Each structure stands twice: as structure tokens, then as C-alpha cells.
Structure 1
């Protein structure tokens, strides 16, 4: 027991290491409630995936005793079971669309199709890039200027993806990955109203 107390005391004295990676603050990518899983530092080594974030929209399960969030109804074996499938994807910033890639194959949940995901790449005013991947029904064009929070696509399930979600990646002008942070003033629980 004494060992763990010493370890705990030591942990309070030694400052936590801070990452050398810069962060980029972006607008919420959905109007609905969503949750994200982050790629850890070193998991992937290339801009767009390194330090990326995978976000999935949740829906609300309710009965006479319970209310909680989950990501799909039924078995989840159909894309339509997932609350996020074909929901709006919002522009992450006031920026320019620099690249669009379309993968026409839609995966079934749990079954990944090899190949690159459909994606939109944006360039911010300071030269950083933000990528939204696994999109479908893209509504913008390369060279177009977009305002943060405007609809640019729908949630898809393509490329290296197990279920409908949006992957976000960001990097600076030197292709150094950036951590993703959401501007919390753009987050809302519109789906609970």
C-alpha cells in the first residue's frame, strides 16, 4: 500500500508531459449530439490520419425508466440503423475547399472495403488544412469558399471504415499533424429539443 501512496504523491509532483503538436480549433461538424475517438500520437504517421479524430452521431434511447445515448438501432448491420448515416456534415472553418475525392462504394457496417475514403480538404486562413473523410453527397466544389457551420456533405461509410462516421484530420503548412479541438460555443444538443 505504501508503494501506491508514494507513486500517487510522485505523480502530483512531476508535471505531465505536454505534446509538441499544435491544436486547431474547429466548428462542430454536426448539429446533432456526437462523440469522438482520437487517434493517439504515433498511431499513424501521415498527415490526415496522424492525431485524427473519428466522430459518430448518437441518438437517444428512452423507455419509461431509462434515457441514454447510443449510436444505432436494431442490430446495426444496415447503414440506415445508424443515427448518423446521411446526416449533415458541417464546414469546420471559414476556409477554401482545396480537394475533393469521391469513393463511390458504400460499405456495410462491420465490413470494410479497401481503398481511400471520400473526403473534402479545406485550407484555413492561416494555411492549415482540415480533412473530413467518409463523407457522401458532397455539396461543395474545389476552389469554393465556405463559412463554418454550413452543410458541405452527408455522413457516409466508405473507404477504411467499419460504420457511418466522420474522420477529421488536420495539419499545418509543414505537414505536421495538429490536434483537433472543437469550439465549444458551436456545440449544441439540438436533437434533444
Structure 2
């Protein structure tokens, strides 16, 4: 039993390096959309998260139907208490950059919406040709392996709810591998225009 526990712990990833915040202007990186559907993101400001890949990252959720009372887009159907209520649940997650898969960790645990799970999250890291690591977290059912070359739009896995998360979403962050300096995330708005409004299966 101890051997099995030791093997399990050895397979779990250690924490990423601490982010080193630049003193001057924060460099930006422009990413392609992570979903085929429209999505919205909430950013992590300076100082909120410490680790490279987390710092200055953003949490993104697919949105769907309009709320009949407010007229605003909704993140989930019904009361959101089930993962399947969330529009992004198990949506395909797309590579936002060209590069080589540098790291994968598949976390099969599924959190209940509203309950924060333990780290680590299901993770994919992509190394770009210019030395940037793009980290994506909370994925499920990963479809890539270390050393694989991917282009923007390649399916990496599915939108999950695992690790330090309360709801189905994808975290994305980026940093320069040479100095662990985090980058601010921007989106390619031309590519974003090609995403589609969410449609229920069969619509």
C-alpha cells in the first residue's frame, strides 16, 4: 500500500515556479480563442496569485442562453448545482497558441459546483517557439501528450471542474520561461469573431 501511495505522490506535479513580476510595463500575449463558443473571462490582477502560469491569468467560462428577467447572458441552465447545468461543461478546449506540449497532468476528480476542490488541476502547458509557456488549467479528458506539436485550434481536452475550482471553467496564464515573468492575456478579436453563440445539442 505504501508503494502505491508513493507512486501516486510521485506522479503528481509539484508547484510551478514563483512568478517574477516585471518592474516596468507588463508584456502582453495575444491568444486565439479557447472555445468554439462565445466565452467571458475574469482576470487575476497583480498580486492575487503568486505562481507562474497563475499570476495575471484569467478564468474563462462559456456563456449561453439569455436570462428572461435581466436580459443578460447566463453561465448555466437551471440552478447551476450540477456540472451539466453549465454551458461550458465538457466543451472542447482549444490550443490558444502554436507550440509544443511541455507538460500534462490529468486529474480525474470531478468537483461539485460551489465546492472548492483540492489542487492540482488538470493541466496542459504549451511552449511557444519564442519561449513562452502558456498554462491551461481545470481541463478534463486530455487528448494531448508531452512532445506533441499543436497549432492554435487543436483540441487539448474538455472543459472540466477539478483542482482548485468551484465551477466548470478554464484558467489560462502565460509567462516567459527564461525569467518566469508573467504576461497579460489579450484575445485575438478577429478570431474571437468566428466563435459561435452556444447552441443546445440538436438545435
- What is the DSSP-based 3-state SS (H/G/I as helix, E as strand, rest coil) of the residue aligned with 2:166? coil
Q: 1:59 corresponds to which residue? A: 64
Q: 2:112 aligns with which of 97, 108, 111?
A: 108
Note if 1:132 corresponds to 2:123. Answer: no
CA distance in 2: counterparts of 1:62 and 1:114, whole angstroms: 32
CA contact (8 A) 2:98 2:151 kept: yes
CA contact (8 A) 1:134 1:157 kept: yes
CA contact (8 A) 2:110 2:162 kept: yes
Structure 1's unaligned 5+ residue stretches are: 1-17
Q: 1:94 corresponds to which residue? A: 98
TM-score for the superposition, normalised by structure 2: 0.81
- What is the DSSP-based 3-state SS (H/G/I as helix, E as strand, rest coil) of the residue aligned with 1:69? coil
Note if 1:185 corresponds to 2:190. Answer: yes
Moved over 4 A (4+): none
Q: 2:145 corresponds to which residue? A: 141
CA distance in 1: counterparts of 2:67 and 2:147, whole angstroms: 44
Structure 2's unaligned 5+ residue stretches are: 1-22
Report the RMSD for the aligned CA atoms in angstroms: 1.8
- What is the DSSP-based 3-state SS (H/G/I as helix, E as strand, rest coil) of the residue aligned with 1:51? coil
- What is the DSSP-based 3-state SS (H/G/I as helix, E as strand, rest coil) of the residue aligned with 1:59? coil
CA contact (8 A) 2:106 2:141 kept: no
CA contact (8 A) 1:24 1:180 kept: yes
Deviation of 1:134 (Å): 0.2
Deviation of 1:186 (Å): 1.1
Q: Give the length in aligned residue pairs.
A: 175
CA change 1:62–1:149 in 2 (3 A) is same
CA contact (8 A) 2:63 2:198 kept: no
Q: 2:173 corresponds to which residue? A: 169
Deviation of 1:66 (Å): 7.5
Deviation of 1:153 (Å): 0.8
CA distance in 1: counterparts of 2:53 and 2:80, whole angstroms: 27
Note if 1:44 corresponds to 2:46. Answer: no
CA contact (8 A) 1:60 1:67 kept: no
Deviation of 1:19 (Å): 5.8
Deviation of 1:68 (Å): 3.5
TM-score for the superposition, normalised by structure 1: 0.85
